[in-house]
Every structure is written in structure tokens, then in C-alpha cells.
Amino acid sequence: MTYVRSTFRHPALPKNDLGYTVDYYEGSLSTLCAGCGHDSINAAIVEACWELNIEPHKVAKLSGIGCSSKSPAYFLSNSHGFNSVHGRMPSVATGANLANRDLIYFGVSGDGDTASIGMGQFVHVVRRNLNMVYLVMNNGCYGLTKGQDSATADAGSKSKAGSVNLFEAIDLASLAIELGATFVGQSFSGDKEQLIPLLKAAMKHKGFAMLNVISPCVTFNNNPGSTKSYDYVREHVEITGTMDFAPMMKEITASYEAGSINDLTMHDGSIIRLHKLAKDWDPFDPNSAMNAIHHAKRKGEILTGLLYMDQDSIELHEMLKTNEKPLNLLSKFQLCPGSETLAKINAGLR
Amino acid sequence: MKPTDISDPEYFHKVVDCQYACPAHTPVPEYIRLIAEGKYTEAYMINWDSNVFPGILGRTCDRPCEPACRRGRIDEEPVAICRLKRVAADNRGDVEPLMPQGPFKPNGKKVALIGAGPASLTVARDLAPLGYEIHLFDEQFKGGGFMLSQIPAFRLPERVLDEEVNYILDLGIHTHFKHYVSSLKDVLEQDYEAVFVGTGAPRGRELKIPGREEGDANIHIGINWLGSVAFEHTSKIGKTVIVLGGGNTAMDCCRTARRLGGEDVKVIVRSPYQTMKASPWEKEDAQHEDIPIIDNHVPKSFVVENGRLKGVTFEKVEAKYDEARKRSLVPTGEPEVFYPADDVLVAIGQENAFPWIERNIGLDFDKWEMPVVDKTTFQSTHPKVFFGGDAAFGPENVITAVAHGHQAAVSIDLLCHKKNLLTERLHPMVNLVSQKMGIHEWAYDSEIDEYDRLVVPQAPKTKTLVNRKQEVELGFDPLAGYEEAKRCLNCDVQTVFNAPKCIECDACVDICPTACITFTANEEEPELRQHTKVPALNLTQDLYVSETLPQTKRIMVKDEDVCLHCGLCAERCPTAAWDMQAFWYNVTKAGEVKFGPTMIGNMVQITRNGNGATP
């Protein structure tokens, strides 16, 4: 019986700038099904954080309920974590973020947790442009309860039992753009080459970064006729462009063939080099991004890659003009200035 | 790269590093698992079938398997394979009923074996059950050869040696002990179908420097002196002793000298300590007995005063390497150093010598006076004469002699049945069996135990240094043997990949603790080695390359280097594209294996066909 993963690692594992090997970013052994797309996304998160030289204690992992929301246990064991109530991760994230803006907030949710029970919370956290990564591990079904269709299952997609879904899918990416998300990307768990740079850019983005990642449910939704199976997604992926992410001050070495290349500078000076493949698409124009998504959808394709980005994003703290210091760094007097100050404020409101 | 051909038995054989490195290709992980299960008798028999002398080798083997052990590349220290073999031997039950049971039906063919060392004894063991009439000649009064005369009793008790030699002699071997064969021509004129020469490398190399002849009374050739101690002709040595040489014979000499009255015993060697020929553990054992090893000293002359040896002078050198990594020992220019000595033991190498083989009988010798011997068949240029062990290609070790013996026996059996020694030689027996029992269940213990190598306990010096026959190493007890056995990574349980089943979900890539697996575009090997998850820089380890994958047309490439064989890739594979399969590789031997292991843990009995059947 093996529910144990050896702690032996490759003796030649490289170290990042902080001196950590990648295993310092790993989590506990996954209890998800063998072959679950979520595990692959977890590995991509581990890789992205290692490559970005993020100190694990500077990350807070947040999740709701579902297979996806179990995932934070399987990456970044040395980070903070909060597994909240079904669909309520956004409000926990908002509270945590307002209390301490210095952490990277990494929210993990699923299609049920976001598009059904959590829809109310989701739309509000988008419109507030909370500075966080909101990652949806989207498998189009309720894997934890034996694979019933979820709200992101495509109309016409066939379930494992053979029934065909009658209802239109909620398109989370276009919904997020519509609601004013400032960074929206779409990807596939089986394509780490695309997913890792996308994750890095999302973590570096100031404001709400939504990543909708198709993550096949190998147990309940990997059957012929499903539009979220490994082979279907691979056959129907259309990419907006390939991208490379370079942290601040580092030269981008990847070379691309001739074509339209954009260097997008993030707020901290790091750069995304985007090699545009999709026609008639402007990553800075929400309308163009929406069009590209809908256009691909009409053709039966799934558009992946960076879809939209607002380089001038103003996140919630900036809008609210909150204190720059996290609450835990403020003194008792600053946090509770006393009844005299309260009296002054009250007097000012009279 | 082309997809790896796993139907070639040598591919997976190479993955089992220990077995591959072993000259006799003993199935190491198989017997280690049996030891962990407490099946010492079965573990002994697997060894006995393969290396003939498990008890002897479990104490004295040069263990090429251990530097090769994969565990050493992951966890610094390899599994204590050699001492585990001893655990099997020490705790075995009644093994004789499991061995071939004579009397065997004679096949009417006689074979002569010259020298009763490990090579000849192996030939005897392999051929006797097939009905051959085996005649074994040796000048000593009993069998064992160099194992008897050169390996000191404190490393190899006589009882252990005799027991394993007698297992073979009891198969009905006609022994001619105290019989020095002085002419091969005479032997060939008799009615032997074949003659096997296993006479070792009996001549100790001389050190021709000034004072050698004058000091002769106190200057001894190491191997001769060890033999003389073993046969109890010598029982004393001076208080101050210098041993010249840096091989395992030098280590045996100095430790024996400590037991025969040597109080101030030193090893003085030409080469640097690190590059000495002696095995690291033998050097450690010598140092543990308060014997300093002085390196980078080249002996220049024996100092003899009034007809009596006073000591040796040395020139100090340092090792310099040229561009081709060729070493030369360059004098440092410091004044010569004198070390006093009552006796000097010269252990600077051994040489072959065949004064008893006539040069006009159709048996060719090369310019180094070595017989011309075929590396596969061990046949000399005289079709009836075969060589093996140190006699074939110069000094090696016991396990190499055994490996030669097996192959020579195959050749002799083929020759006696008028078959072609090369083309009609059978391939090794191989098998590959899935170990899957359930989603998280394997037929082998796949969990990796992460503790360090255990240390073998030794008897105290107060006991060992006063009694030449007191064995120094006490061996692992069964509990320690169990723990050490669990460190084995089961490298013979192979990760077998079936590309058409793969859906490229990356689960294996993500779970693999040691980053062995990569899915990538196919390239030539040098590029591919750079593009694995961690660059595959150990060129001695192969890349396992799959066919093109169905969905993305990439390939799976696995660097075998530090695979733990933990089975997690197969456990996390949703489509069973990965499977863990036990690989069994058994070297071709004379005769036919009747029973072999069918599955891990079910190994019952190995006997050989006893009715003269040919391969």
C-alpha cells in the first residue's frame, strides 16, 4: 500500500534565488483521483511559485468546497491557508486581503463553487477588483458527488452515464471581463507550458486575476461526448498567443518566430512577452477579448492563453485608500485611537 | 531518439544496477526481498544458483554491486548487499535437499579441472548434475584454491569455506588433491573430453630493488606468506613490519601480521590513498586495527646491515595527471625517507604463470605469456582446453571466477554435444510479470525506507588481534538484516510504459519524487538529455523513450538514473499506461532450470536437470 511519497528528491534539483529546491513548495500527497487535472494544476502552481522566488509564507491559499477546493492542501505546505464555506471563498479572501495587503492571495475554486453556489460572491469580488488570483479548476461536473453536470458543462456535452446536457454553459471568462476583471486568462491543466507563465503573470498582476483552467475529471467526465475530456480539449484548443514571463530586470531569452510581439509591463516592472496568434484580438480591449472568446466558441473551440489585461488596473485598496500597512503591523493605539478620537469623528459628522 | 526496445532483455537488466554490475549477474533485489521476508533458505539458494559461494562471498566479495547501487546515488550509501548475502547464509535452513541430488545418470563424458579454486568448482557444480565425470586436480590437500590460501581466516572462517566447497564435492566429484599437474600434454593424452584450467594467478610480483637478495630472509612475497600462514607453516613475524602495496592482498597481509606478533605494522604504498586498489572497507578495517597507511612513497632500497634487514628507504612522490588523465608519480624532490622494519611483506601484485603448459600443443600464448582465450566461450586455441578465473585474463576476484566458470561449463557442455559454442549458446532466461494487485497495492513492498545504511558489528580488537582465526565481522543479526534489506529500492521491479494507453494527464510527472519523467518533443539523445525535468547528465544511465503519444505527438522520456521504483507513477496513472513489472534475468548456465521464480515471493526451488540434457 502506498499512500506515502518518499521525501527523497533528485540530488541535482536546482535551487531558486532564495536557495529553495522545488520540493519546499510542495504540499501533502494528493487524495484526488489518479489522473485528475487538478493535480496537474497544483504542480504548475508549485513550479510557478518556485520560479518566481516567492517566499511561501508570503502566500495565503483560500478555497471553498469541492475537489478543486481540496487542492490547496496539495501545494505550498509552508503557506497560509483557509478552507472556507462552499462558495464563500471570495468574502474570506476580501477580509484577509483588507487586513493584510502584503500577502499574495491565491484563491482556488471550482465550477460548482464559483458558477453555482458561489456565483453571488464571485461577481462581487470581480467588480471590486480585489488584488488576488482567482483560479477556477473547471471540469464541468460535480466530481465530488459522482459527476452531475455543473453550470459550466457545455450544452450538448454528454455525461458518463450517457445523458446530454440541455442547458447553456456559464462562460466564466467572458462574465469576468463583463464585470470588470482586470486580468483574465484561460488554460488547460494538460498544458503546463502555457499554464505556468499565465500563473506567474496572474500572481504579479495588481488587481483581480481570473484564470479559468479546464481540468478534466478523469473519473466522471473524461468520456466520449464530453467537451471537458483530455482528448476533446486537446483537439479543440485555440490559443490567443504564446507567452513568456520574465520577472523584473531579467532579460527575456525566449525567441519567437516573426509575428506580432507585445511586451506587457506589469506594475512591478516584470514583463510578459506575448506572441500573438489570434487575429482581430487586442488583449487590452475588453470588447475585442469578448469577441475573440465568442468567436472561438461559435467555432466550437476553446480559446486559451491570456485573454484580457488592464495594465492600469486600480485595485480595491487603492480605490478605498486604505492604510498601506497591514493591520498586524499597526500599534494598538493606531488600531484603537480611543474615545477622544471617536468623539472627534462623531462631532465631525454632526 | 528511437523508442526504447524493452523486449531486449539487456535494457531492463541494465536498470538493475547491482545485478548488472555483478560479474555473475546475481539477481540481487530478488534475494534481498526474500531476506526481508525471513526466507533465508530461498535467498541462499538464489545466490547459490548464481554465485555458488554465498557464505564465502557474503564475507569476502569485492562487491562491484555496491558502488553501482542506485541507492548510493540518492542516499549516499548503497545497500549493504554483500553483508545481506551473509545474512542469508548465516540463517539458512537445510539447503542440501534443494541442491541437485546425486547420483546422477552418467553421460559417459569425462572432464578434467586443473586447480580447485572458485572457477573450477563452479564448472564442477554446473556439469556434475548433467552426468559428467569430473576429475578435479589441486596441489593442496583440499579444495578452495586462493579462497583457502589467500583469504585470512579472520575474514573467512575455514568452516564456511569447507561447507560450501563440500556442497560441490559431494555432487560426486573425483578429487585428486596433493596432486600437482606438471604437464597439460599428459592430461590431454588421457580420455578427457575437455580440460578446464582454473589455476589462478599464483606468482606474487617481485620487487627488484637494491638489498632484495641480501635481506631475503626477512622479505616475503605477500601471497606466498599468506599461504604459508594459512597452512600453518608460519606463525610469527617481527615486531616492526612494513607492507608494500595498496591492494586487498596488502590489507590482508598487514592485518595478518598484526595477529602474528606485528606491533608496529605499516602499509606503505606508491599511489595516493584515494586511488589505492584496495576496497575502501578493507582500508578502513586495516586502519581500525591501528595500521597506518602511508601513501605517495616509492620503495627505493632495502637497508641491510650485517646480513640483517633494517628497513626500507622511500622516495616521496606526488600524482600528476596529464591531459589524457594518465597518471604519473613524480618525485617531490624531498630527501629519501627511511622506515625501520624487522620484516617486509611485498604485496604489489600477482602474475600468471603456466610453467606446466607445453608451448607446442596448439595452445597459443600472447606476448605477455597469457593464453589466448575467447571472452564469451572461454575456449583457448586448443578446442578442448578452457580457461577461467584469474588464469584466463589475469587477477580479478572470486565472483569473476564464478562467472567465468558458468560460461566455461556451458561451452564444455556444448562441445561435448558437438554443438557450436557461440551460435547454439542459449540466451539468458528473462521474465517480466506485473506486480499490480489493486489501486494502491503491489506484490512488492513499494514504500521507500529512508534510514541510513546499518553498520556491521565487529568483534573487539582485544579478541581479534590475539587469535588469527577469530572472525572480525560478526554479520547482521536477523533484525538488522531485515532493516538493511528494506533499504533496497527493488530496481528489478520495472516501470513499464505503454504509450497508446497514455492520456497525457501529467499525473506521473507530478507525483514522481525524483523528477524522472518528462513529456516533451522528441529530439536526439544529447538534446533530450538537456530537456528532461532535471537534465539527465549521468550518461551511464539510459533514457527510456516511448513511442509517439496519441494526443500531443510528444514522447514520454524517463531518466532511469535516480528512479526509486516506488510505483507512484503507476499508482497515479488513470489508464494503467504505467505498470510495475518484476524483471527476472537469469544468466545462461549449463543444463536446464527446472524451477525458477515465477513471481516475487513465490520462489520455491531451483534444481537443475540431472539427466544429462543439453541446453
Q: Which ipTM did the prediction report?
A: 0.89
- Residue whose C-alpha cell is 506587457: A264
Report all structural domains of chain A as residue ranges with CATH numbers, in order of start: 22-320 (3.40.50.970)
Q: Would B41 be classed as within a structural domain?
A: no
Closest to B534 (Cβ–Cβ): which among A2, A13, A216? A13
Q: Same domain for B169 and B224?
A: no
Q: Same domain for B213 and B325?
A: yes
pLDDT classification of B591: cutoffs 50, 70, 90: confident
Q: Do A190 and B506 touch (CB under 8 A)?
A: yes
Q: Would B8 be classed as within a structural domain?
A: no
pLDDT in tens, B450-461: 999 999 999 999
Out of B318, B344, B370, a domain closes at B344
pLDDT classification of A247: cutoffs 50, 70, 90: low
The mean pLDDT value for B527-541 works out to 96
**Interface test mutation site (partner A, options B503, B518, B559, B569, max chain A beta carbons within 10 A):** B503
Q: Look at residue A254 in the predicted model and tell me its pLDDT.
A: 43
- Whether A173 contacts A22, CB under 8 Å: no
- Tell me the average pLDDT of chain B: 92
Q: Would B148 be classed as within a structural domain?
A: yes
pLDDT in tens, A117-133: 999 999 999 999 999 99
The CATH number linked to B263 is 3.50.50.60
Total number of domains in chain B: 2
Q: Would B143 be classed as within a structural domain?
A: yes
Closest to B513 (Cβ–Cβ): which among A5, A37, A231? A5
The mean pLDDT value for B246-271 works out to 95
Q: Same domain for B255 and B267?
A: yes
Q: Would B78 be classed as within a structural domain?
A: no
Q: Would B450 be classed as within a structural domain?
A: no
Q: Same domain for B215 and B290?
A: yes
Rounded-to-integer distance, Cα B387 and Cα B107, Å:
23
Q: Look at residue B605 in the predicted model and tell me its pLDDT.
A: 40
Q: Does B510 touch chain A (CB under 8 A)?
A: yes
Closest to B571 (Cβ–Cβ): which among A11, A34, A190? A34
Among chain B residues, the shortest Cα distance to A188 is held by B505
Rounded-to-integer distance, Cα B446 and Cα B567, Å:
6
Q: Would B242 be classed as within a structural domain?
A: yes
Confidence check: pLDDT of A256 > 60: no
In the structure grid, which three cell numbers stand for residue B543, read together? 533514457
Q: Same domain for B339 and B289?
A: yes
Q: Look at residue B604 in the predicted model and tell me its pLDDT.
A: 38
CA distance B440 to chain A (A): 5
Q: Same domain for B179 and B219?
A: no
Closest to B441 (Cβ–Cβ): which among A1, A189, A231? A1
Q: Do B506 and A9 touch (CB under 8 A)?
A: no
Residues 156-195 of A with CB under 8 A from B: 189-190, 192
Q: Would B496 be classed as within a structural domain?
A: no
pLDDT classification of A257: cutoffs 50, 70, 90: very low
In the structure grid, which three cell numbers stand for residue B503, read together? 492520456
More confident residue, B189 or B615: B189
pLDDT classification of B405: cutoffs 50, 70, 90: very high
Q: Same domain for B329 and B211?
A: yes
Rounded-to-integer distance, Cα B220 and Cα B217, Å:
8
Rounded-to-integer distance, Cα B164 and Cα B172, Å:
14
Q: Look at residue B75 in the predicted model and tell me its pLDDT.
A: 87
Strand, coil or helix: what is A224? coil
More confident residue, B328 or B508: B508
Q: Domain range holding B384?
A: 99-202+352-416
- Residue whose C-alpha cell is 534443494: B98
Q: Look at residue A198 in the predicted model and tell me its pLDDT.
A: 94
Out of B370, B391, B416, a domain closes at B416
The mean pLDDT value for B278-284 works out to 93
Among chain B residues, the shortest Cα distance to A29 is held by B511
Q: Look at residue A248 in the predicted model and tell me its pLDDT.
A: 59
pLDDT in tens, A290-315: 999 998 888 888 999 999 999 899 99
pLDDT classification of B600: cutoffs 50, 70, 90: very low
pLDDT classification of A88: cutoffs 50, 70, 90: very high
Q: Same domain for B307 and B230?
A: yes
In the structure grid, which three cell numbers stand for residue B263, read together? 606491533
Q: Does A43 touch chain B (CB under 8 A)?
A: yes
Paired strand residues for A249: none
Share of chain B above pLDDT 90, in %: 86
CA distance B604 to chain A (A): 25
Confidence check: pLDDT of B346 > 70: yes
Q: Same domain for B214 and B128?
A: no
Q: Look at residue A245 in the predicted model and tell me its pLDDT.
A: 76
pLDDT in tens, B203-221: 899 999 999 999 999 999 9
pLDDT classification of B611: cutoffs 50, 70, 90: very low
Maximum CA pair distance of chain A?
Answer: 71
Find the range with the poorest average confidence among A132-141, B99-108, B186-195, B240-249.
B99-108
Environment class of residue B271 by beta-carbon count within 10 Å: exposed (0-12), middle (13-18) or buried (19+)? middle
Q: Look at residue B593 in the predicted model and tell me its pLDDT.
A: 54
Among chain A residues, the shortest Cα distance to B571 is held by A34
pLDDT classification of A241: cutoffs 50, 70, 90: confident
pLDDT in tens, B356-388: 999 999 999 999 999 999 999 999 999 999 999
Q: Same domain for B399 and B306?
A: no
Q: Same domain for B237 and B334?
A: yes
Q: Same domain for B288 and B359?
A: no
Q: Look at residue B168 in the predicted model and tell me its pLDDT.
A: 96
Out of B416, B433, B460, a domain closes at B416
The mean pLDDT value for A90-101 works out to 97
